[in-house]
Structure 1
Amino acid sequence: MPGTDIRDIFVAGLKNAHAMENQALSIMKPQLKRIENYPEVAQRLDAHIRETDGQIVRLEEILDSLNEDNSTLKDMALSFTGSMAALGHTVAGDEILKNSFANFAFENYEAAAYKSLLVVAEAGGYGAAVTGLQANLTEELAMAEWLNDNLAAVTAKFLSLRQVGETAKV
C-alpha cells in the first residue's frame, strides 16, 4: 500500500478519535452532574474527564505534527449524539446501571480504536505518534478495567438504596 494511503488512513483515524473523545466528554459530563449517591463513581468519572481532555490534546498534537486539523463537523456530530445518549438514560429508574453498561462498552470501543491507530502508526512509520496513542490506550483500558471491577459494587449499592426506599438517584 503506498505511503499516502496509510497517511490518509492514519489522519482519518486520528480525526475520528478526536471526535470520539469529544463524544466521550458529551456523555460523561452530564452524568457527572447528576451523580448524587455514588461518590466513588463521580470521583473516577471526574478523573477520566480530565484524562480525556489530555487525550484530546495529544491527538491535536499528533494532527498538528502532520499539518492536519481535527474535523469540526465530526466533533460536532459525535458530541451531539453523545449528549442525546446521555439524555436518554436520565429517564430510566436504573440510570446508574445503564450509564455503567454504556460507559464500559464505550471505553472498550475507544481502546479498540487506539489499538488500531497504533498498528497504522507503526505501518506508516509515524513513530512519534506512538507515545501519545499508547498513553491514550492505557488510560482507556484503565477506565474500562475500573468500570468492570466496580460494576458489582455499583449494582449492589443501587439495589440497597432501592430496598430502603431511596430513589437510587444517580
Structure 2
Amino acid sequence: MTDAREHLLDWLRDAHAMEQQAEQMLKGQAARIENYPALKARIEQHIQETLGQQQLLESCISRLGGSPSTIKDTMGKVMAMGQAVGGMMASDEIVKGSMASYVFEHMEIASYRTLIAAAQAVGDVETQRACEQILAQEEAMAQWLQEHLPEVTQQFLVRDETPGVTARK
C-alpha cells in the first residue's frame, strides 16, 4: 500500500510536469501575440511566475528525497507543443488560446489545492507554504483572464471585421 507521503511526492512530480507544460504553452502563446499587448504582458509575467513555481516544486520534491520525473516533464512539453500547433490553425487563435489558458489555470488551482491538503495530512509545512504561494499566483492569473476574456473577445471581433487587420493573434 502506498502511503500519503508517496502520494504527495508523486503529485508534486505531476505538478512539476504541469508547470513544464504551462511554461511551453505560455511561451508559445506569448511569442505569437501581436495585437493584444495587455494579454501578452500578463502572459509574460506569468511565465516568470511559472519558472519560479518550477523551482519551488523542485525544492519540495528534493526535500522529500525525490527528483522530478523526466518522463512526466517530457510528456507535459509534448502536450504543450500539440496544443500550440492546434491553436495556430484556428482563425480565432487569440480567443481560443485565452479560453484554454483560463481552463488550464483552473486545473492548476485544483492541483495545488490537492497538494496543500496532502501536505497538511503528512505535516509538511514547507510544501504546504510553497503550494499556497503558487496557488495564489494561479488564482490571480485565472482572475485576470476571467476579467479580460470579454475585452479580448471584443477586440478580436472588432479587428476581425476590419479589412486588412489581423485579428487572430
For 1:55, give the aligned amino acid: Q
Q: Are 1:126 and 2:124 counterparts?
A: yes
Greater shift, 124-133 or 69-78, is seen at: 124-133
Write the mapping of 1:21-170 to structure 2, written as runs, cut at 5 A. 21-165=19-163, 166-170=165-169
What's the TM-score, normalizing by structure 1? 0.96
CA distance in 2, matches of 1:60, 1:78: 16
The CA distance in 2 between the partners of 1:157 and 1:128, in whole Å, is: 43
Distance 1:93 1:75 in 2: 30
The RMSD of aligned alpha carbons is 1.1
Contact 1:32-1:42 at 8 Å conserved across structures: yes
Q: Aligned partners of 2:80, 2:140: CA distance in 1, in Å?
A: 21
Is this contact kept in 2: 1:118–1:133, CA < 8 A?
yes
Give aligned pairs, total.
Answer: 168
Give the TM-score normalised by the residue count of structure 2.
0.97
Counterpart residue identity of residue 33, structure 2:
I
CA distance in 2, matches of 1:128, 1:169: 43
Q: Secondary structure at the match of 1:27?
A: helix
Deviation at 1:167, TM superposition (A): 2.3
What SS class does the counterpart of residue 23 from structure 2 fall into? helix
Q: Which amino acid aligns with 1:39?
A: P
Identify unmatched segments of 5+ residues in structure 2.
Answer: none
- Identity over aligned pairs, percent: 39
1:25 touches 1:52 (CA, 8 Å); kept in 2?
yes
Tell me the SS of whatever aligns to 1:67.
Answer: coil
Q: Secondary structure at the match of 1:25?
A: helix
Are the counterparts in 2 of residues 20 and 78 from structure 1 also a CA contact under 8 Å? Answer: yes
